[in-house]
């Protein structure tokens, strides 16, 4: 289904983003879900209008330029250097470990009450030529679970994802996408994969960086997700901007909440 792999010697996985009438979902992105869940009637109307405007602006497709990919790769190199340094020591293993003591205790208390805590990383979204980089960090606490149980739930051996271990209680992973294809007319005889440069640019790249820390009564799970969609068409920012920016955050929250629910049977506490 896919063209031959890049010749670069690096970890990678391929993914397909499927677009239906009112949703975007992924069936081949391991460790992370791109999903717009059920929303209210008004939100559905706004969503439909926003998507219609994007599709109208990109009727003939929107190609990734070399400048876009180069800028994203440079951003990823810097982000991965930072994440690698974080994961190299127990005192900075999770993002919350670097917070002031009082703030960390407050967040840990929220996590133990069942909340999924999502924070924007830096000044995201970051504008690059032809695209936007979104970066969010989410954390969840899964009580009465082990790291092995969490890994068995989210591991997908179909993809080449790098796993590392800091010590007996801490493990982490890097998952990098190098090709994401958009499928139209999903589930119909006309279903087909759009060629690069002829898609709508909803999602070009998606990298996720996971960390798992075992404590006495459960596991803290952290996921930092960095995604690259196309930039917002000129003149549509006031309508499309909030919608486009909400997708990465909501997808990350859905992923972490689903992971917790799968192991405990309990959804996120409200």
pLDDT digits (tens, 9 = 90+) for 253-262: 988 998 999 8
Euclidean distance between CA atoms 192 and 250, whole angstroms = 27
Give the start-to-end residue ranges of the domains of the chain. Answer: 13-264
| pLDDT of res. 188 | 83
Average pLDDT estimate for 16-39: 38
Contact 120, 136 (CB under 8 A): yes
pLDDT at 23 over 90: no
pLDDT digits (tens, 9 = 90+) for 181-192: 667 776 788 887
Q: Residue with structure tokens 């405990």? A: 264
Average pLDDT estimate for 84-110: 96
Instruction: Please tell me the pTM assigned to this model.
Output: 0.73
Number of H helices, E strands in the chain: 5, 11
Contact 241, 235 (CB under 8 A): no
pLDDT at 81 over 80: yes
pLDDT digits (tens, 9 = 90+) for 29-47: 334 444 433 334 444 444 5
> Taking the CB of residue 221, how many other CB atoms lie within 10 A of it?
26
202 falls in which pLDDT band (50, 70, 90)?
Answer: low
Q: Over the chain, what is the mean pLDDT?
A: 74
Strands (DSSP E) found in the chain: 13-19, 24-26, 117-120, 126-128, 131-143, 162-167, 170-175, 177-184, 192-193, 205-215, 218-228
């Amino acid at each position: 289904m896919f063209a031959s792999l890049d010749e670069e010697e690096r970890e990678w996985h391929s993914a397909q983003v499927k677009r239906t009438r009112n949703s975007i979902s992924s069936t081949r992105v391991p460790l992370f879900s791109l999903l717009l869940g059920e929303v209210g009637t008004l939100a559905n109307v706004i969503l439909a209008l926003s998507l219609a405007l994007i599709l109208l602006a990109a009727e003939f497709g929107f190609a990734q330029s070399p400048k876009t990919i180069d800028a994203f790769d440079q951003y990823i190199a810097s982000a991965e250097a930072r994440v690698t340094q974080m994961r190299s020591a127990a005192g900075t293993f999770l993002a919350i470990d670097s917070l002031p003591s009082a703030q960390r205790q407050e967040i840990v208390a929220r996590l133990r009450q069942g909340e999924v805590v999502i924070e924007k990383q830096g000044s995201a979204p970051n504008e690059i030529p032809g695209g936007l980089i979104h970066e969010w960090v989410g954390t969840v606490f899964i009580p009465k679970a082990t790291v092995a149980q969490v890994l068995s739930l989210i591991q997908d051996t179909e993809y080449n994802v790098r796993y590392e271990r800091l010590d007996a209680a801490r493990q982490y992973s890097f998952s990098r996408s190098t090709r994401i294809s958009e499928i139209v007319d999903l589930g119909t005889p006309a279903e087909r994969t759009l060629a690069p440069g002829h898609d709508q640019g909803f999602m070009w790249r998606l990298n996720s960086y996971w960390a798992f820390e075992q404590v006495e009564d459960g596991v803290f799970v952290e996921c930092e997700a960095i995604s690259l969609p196309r930039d917002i068409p000129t003149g549509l920012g006031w309508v499309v901007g909030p919608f486009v920016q909400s997708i990465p955050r909501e997808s990350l929250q859905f992923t972490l909440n689903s992971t917790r629910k799968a192991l405990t049977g309990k959804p996120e506490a409200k």
